[in-house]
Chain A
Amino acid sequence: MIQVNELTKRYGNFKAVDNISFNLRKGEILGFLGPNGAGKTTTMRIITGYLSATQGKVSVAGYDIFDKPLEVKKEIGYLPETPPLYREMRVRDFLNFAGKIRGLNSARQRRQRLQYVVERCSLEEVQNLHIHKLSKGYRQRVGLAQALIHNPPILILDEPSAGLDPHQIIGVRQLIRQLSGEHSILLSTHILPEASLTCDRVLIIDRGKILAEDTTEHLTGKLKGHDMVRILVRGGGPELEKRIKALPGVQKVAEMTNEGQPKDAPRQFDISYALGRDRRGELARALVEADVELLELRPQAMTLEEIFIKITSKVDN
């Protein structure tokens, strides 16, 4: 749906986006992951036609963004980082206006779409309020509704969950997942779990460059050199760490317990294995045989945080 080829954007001498290429496939959610200032917003603004590119080619739904900007803009629903809302308008009036300028010409069509987006974004309660009276969470949803109003095949969402409380974040993520059936979605975030939860594919971007591109599972798989298990036990005495280390396949054991805590408090160990066979069964048996109370045993997948730190530090070196 979107093809970006060797795109570069300079602000003076500063390269905000440096020769990046990627594409968005039909029906998928592509996550743009990177720290603040990585070039995510700039790239999105170029795709939506808000900024010009210094070099490179972008085509959206088959139209070149530089030759046919109006056609491209019809295909895209865009939620900028700060939702662009007219504070003095009522929610319904605003969405109606957004529909008009996005090319929904008949009033009947607008009414239908309005009804649909109000339901989809759960705005029923606030649809007749003025936007300046809305909470941040509702504003973000109105922003999303305005991006959806003309039923665009492509959605571009710049940090859709920024500034929301945890409950609202879950709501927005669910909504995005629901939308992915009908729309191809490009979203940006600097929150790593968000990318792994919502996206089918992730682009990791830093300082204007794409560092990695893959599905979230593959990325995790590629980068980790070991499996890790975290256990919580009670008892076992000081020699427990050595005992665990002696088990087959264990590479590293680290006790995470604090010094000087009460004797019968739970102790936590992080145990690293070589990649390969699942050793959890053996571990559990060994612990029970050692007369230790096993309270918890949990495999630790490498989080995107760790992946991200690993990738970015690789580049530095």
Chain B
Amino acid sequence: MRNIISIFWREYKSYFASPIAYVVIGVFLILISNRFIYKFNDFVKFTFQATGEAVNYQMLVPKFSINDSVIRYIFQEIRTISLFLLPMITMRLFAEERKTGTLELLLTSPLTIAQLVLGKFLAGFILFLTMIVPTVAFHFFLFQYGNPDLGPILTGYAGTIFYGASVISVGILISSVTENQIIAGALTFGAFLFLWIVGRVGESTFTFWNRLANYISVTGHFDNFAMGILDSRDVIFYLSLTFFGLFLTYQVVASLRWR
């Protein structure tokens, strides 16, 4: 455990020693705040309009759900923006160490490979959490001026965490197979874009292939969480993808000895 923390802490700090952490977190917050403000304005305008019309026609004022029209949408935006930014977090994790030779230091130190892989995973994962934590402020704001339902917010964050973990573990895997960070980043991005597009194919019909496409879609499993539904199938999907990625990373790093 001590070793995992040492690896994690060095890696996490090095994100902040270079511009990577600032750029990724900064870009993320600018984009997501922009989407939030836009969506929130829309919601306010729409409710005013609808209330005004209802009063004009002497009808009952309808109830508007901020969960359905703002919060759910924000979680989906977090998912989409992270898809573009997470490869930049994961691409260096092993590729850079392989290139600069520092992997030799780690692999000749009394560490197990599992400790090494977990430490690095944790660094990427905690950076991802650091990135999404400020979005909690949006919900504070909504609670201040409205009364959103807390449940879907919690499942939304749970989904975001599961989703992030799985993207990061596959990103680490891809980073471990190459010495080139750019290739690692591009492949990670490509892999997840594929899993996203696949989800689109699976939306309409119900043949076997469509259902398969739907199942392997990383983004598709996210929608339930965003809507406030906690389905064990989605949890298991993300957890097994995370485990699978870390397990294969372990195998790749262990196999480096056998060149």
Question: Which of A's residues lie within 8 Å of B, judged by CB?
Answer: 11, 45, 48-52, 70-71, 73-74, 76, 78, 80, 82, 84-89, 97-98, 100-103, 105, 146
Contact = CB atoms under 8 A, between A and B. Distances in A.
Given A70-B112, A100-B6, A101-B109, A88 B14 contact: yes
Contact of A88 (B17, B106, B110): B17
A102 B108 CA distance: 9
A74 B110 CA distance: 6
Contacts of A80: 101, 104-105, 108
B107 interface: yes
Interface in B238-259: 257-259
Contact of A50 (B10, B111, B257): B257
B17 A50 contact: no
A82 B105 CA distance: 11
B109 A102 contact: yes
Residue of A50, A80, A87, A98 most packed against chain B (CB within 10 A): A50
The majority secondary structure among interface residues of chain A is loop
Contacts of A82: 101
Closest 4 pairs (CB-CB, A-B): A84-B105, A88-B17, A100-B6, A73-B110
Given A86-B102, A98-B105, A51 B257 contact: yes
A34 to B, nearest CB: 20
A78 B100 contact: no
Contacts of A86: 10, 14, 100, 102
B257 A105 contact: no
Contacts of A51: 257, 259
Contacts of B111: 101
A48 B103 CA distance: 13
Given A51-B259, A70-B110, A84-B100, 5 more contacts: A84-B105, A98-B109, A101-B106, A101-B111, A105-B2
Give the interface residue-count category, chain B.
20 to 34
Contacts of A78: 104, 108
B34 interface: no
B118 interface: no
B69 interface: no
Nearest to B14: A88
A73 B102 contact: no
A11 B110 CA distance: 26
Contacts of B3: 100-101
Nearest to A48: B108
B205 interface: no
A82 B106 CA distance: 14
B7 interface: yes
Name, among B10, B108, B110, B111, the residue most crowded by chain A CB atoms within 10 Å (CB to CB): B108
Contacts of A11: 259
A84 B101 contact: yes
A138 B82 CA distance: 40
B108 A76 contact: yes
B109 A50 contact: no
Interface in B12-38: 14, 17-18
B10 A97 contact: yes
A100 B9 CA distance: 11
A282 to B, nearest CB: 57
B6 A49 contact: no
A84 B112 CA distance: 18
A146 B105 contact: yes
A45 B17 CA distance: 30
B250 to A, nearest CB: 15
A146 B112 CA distance: 19
A52 B257 contact: yes
Residue among B6, B105, B110 with the highest chain A CB neighbour number at 10 A: B105
B84 to A, nearest CB: 24
A84 B104 contact: yes
10 contacts: A50-B108, A50-B257, A70-B110, A73-B110, A74-B110, A82-B101, A87-B100, A88-B17, A98-B109, A101-B111
